[in-house]
């Protein structure tokens, strides 16, 4: 009986080791896929830039890693990438300390006022907030940067170019006033440009991007700055090539690099 029990324990331990090995192999395979996907994306960015007569070195690729584990992000980092984006404060605050400090983090999600300070305190290497959509959040970020003694924070103003109620962003007609507010009343913030999220309908995307380009012209004229100094963050996995051809300087690419999102079941 004891021999049978001992053998059962051995078999069980062996099964667990095999399962762990299979999981590790699957994880490594997934990581390798992400690194390969990154290389493919960078090549497509270069080709889109060439079609538009632009240099790909002027286009930033933000690898959007929401819901993805630190191990996979690290593999993309090891492949040479340094710019990553997250949508949720809790997630970026948990991940950032586990990863190298030379990562350039972008926060690209809807940001609540009471999350501004935790975001800045928890991610010292936060390079940019792309989703400033009203004066209140701009003021909170400005105050938090000052209180924490950080260097000026780069920000983009999010514009709702599609008019969809489900999307955040200031109305196109109000983006000039918000840009002025950031520029004149938020000394701890550096206004760097505009951001938008295109519609899921691929055929509607060009109009969204054209609207953002028009907003840039109006903002630059109002602020008295050259358009080359005003970034356009537009284009994601399904439309980044078209966005680059229409002038985007910053593309946010998630699933094409990392695969489908992995949301926990409630």
Interhelix angle 175-185/205-223, nearest 10 degrees: 40
**pLDDT tens-place string over residues 15-44:** 454 444 444 344 444 448 999 999 999 999
Give the pLDDT band of residue 156 (cuts 50, 70, 90).
Answer: very high
Contact 149, 128 (CB under 8 A): no
DSSP 214: H
- In CATH, the number for domain 2-253 is 3.20.20.10
Provide the 10 A C-beta neighbour count for residue 230: 21
pLDDT at 190: 98
For residue 99, pLDDT beyond 70? yes
Mean of all residue pLDDT scores within the chain: 89
Break the chain into its structural domains and give their ranges: 2-253
For residue 201, pLDDT beyond 90? no
Q: Measuring CA to CA, which residue among 194, 216, 213, 197 is closest to residue 205?
A: 197
pLDDT at 266: 44
Token look-up 């992995």 returns: 262
**pLDDT tens-place string over residues 111-146:** 999 999 999 999 999 999 999 999 999 999 999 999
Instruction: Give 12-61 as a 3 state SS string.
Output: HHHHHHHHHHHHHHHHHHHHHHHHHHHHHHHHHHHHHHHHCCCCHHHCEE
pTM over 0.75: yes
């Amino acid at each position: 009986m004891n021999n049978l029990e001992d053998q059962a324990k051995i078999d069980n331990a062996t099964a667990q080791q095999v399962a762990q090995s299979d999981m590790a192999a699957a994880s490594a395979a997934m990581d390798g896929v992400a690194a390969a996907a990154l290389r493919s994306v960078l090549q497509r960015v270069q080709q889109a830039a060439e079609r538009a007569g632009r240099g790909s070195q002027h286009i930033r690729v933000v690898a959007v890693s929401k819901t993805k584990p630190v191990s996979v992000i690290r593999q993309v980092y090891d492949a040479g990438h340094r710019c990553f984006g997250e949508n949720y404060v809790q997630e970026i605050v948990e991940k950032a300390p586990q990863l190298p400090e030379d990562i350039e983090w972008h926060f690209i999600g809807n940001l609540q006022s009471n999350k501004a300070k935790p975001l800045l305190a928890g991610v010292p290497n936060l390079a940019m907030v792309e989703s400033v959509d009203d004066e209140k959040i701009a003021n909170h970020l400005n105050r938090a940067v000052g209180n924490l003694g950080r260097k000026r924070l780069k920000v983009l103003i999010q514009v709702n170019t599609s008019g969809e109620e489900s999307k955040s962003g200031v109305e196109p007609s109000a983006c000039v006033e918000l840009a002025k507010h950031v520029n004149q009343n938020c000394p701890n913030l550096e206004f760097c440009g505009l951001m938008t999220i295109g519609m899921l309908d691929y055929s509607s995307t060009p109009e969204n991007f054209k609207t953002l380009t028009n907003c840039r012209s109006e903002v630059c004229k109002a602020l008295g700055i050259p358009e080359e100094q005003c970034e356009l963050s537009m284009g994601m996995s399904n439309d980044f090539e078209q966005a680059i051809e229409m002038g985007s300087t910053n593309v946010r690419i998630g699933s094409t690099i990392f695969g489908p999102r992995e949301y926990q079941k409630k």
